[in-house]
Amino acid sequence: MPFALELDGPLDAERLARALAQVVERHEALRTTIQVVDDQPVLKVEPAAPPALALVDLGALPAAARAEELERRLAGEAARPFDLACAPLYRATLYRLAEAQHLFAFTAHHVVFDGWSTGLL
């Protein structure tokens, strides 16, 4: 379940990371993994931990190259599989495109996130 949100204007990446941490702490689904016990799937809610918000600065690239690199990275991220037994079952990346232009990309496994959840996040 990949989605991206364009953010225009000044942005405090640390504050965004703290906000994401609060969302993850509040919603157990984002901390859930699926373990196999006696050949049966078992849900396990992991303790809250600071979420990893990867920061990627593409601002130095020319506009055309930046757009291509961003598209390549987003496609690769959406295609990368998750290990259901290892938390977290989501990945978050903040791409800096220019001084006041960012893109927040969030990819989650459908077992913990769905289209309705996108609006909530």
Q: Tens of pLDDT along 22-62?
A: 999 999 999 999 999 999 999 999 998 887 899 999 999 99
Domain 2-120 = CATH 3.55.40.20: no
Sign for the pseudo-dihedral over CA of 96, 20, 88, 47: positive
Does the pLDDT value for residue 108 go beyond 80?
yes
pLDDT of residue 21: 93
pLDDT of residue 99: 93
pTM of the full structure: 0.90
pLDDT of residue 119: 75
| 3 state SS of 28 | helix
Where do the domains of the chain lie? 2-120
Exposed / middle / buried, residue 23 (Cβ in 10 Å: 0-12, 13-18, 19+): middle
Place of tokens 């405090």: 12
CA distances from 117 to 5, 35, 95 (A): 14, 23, 22
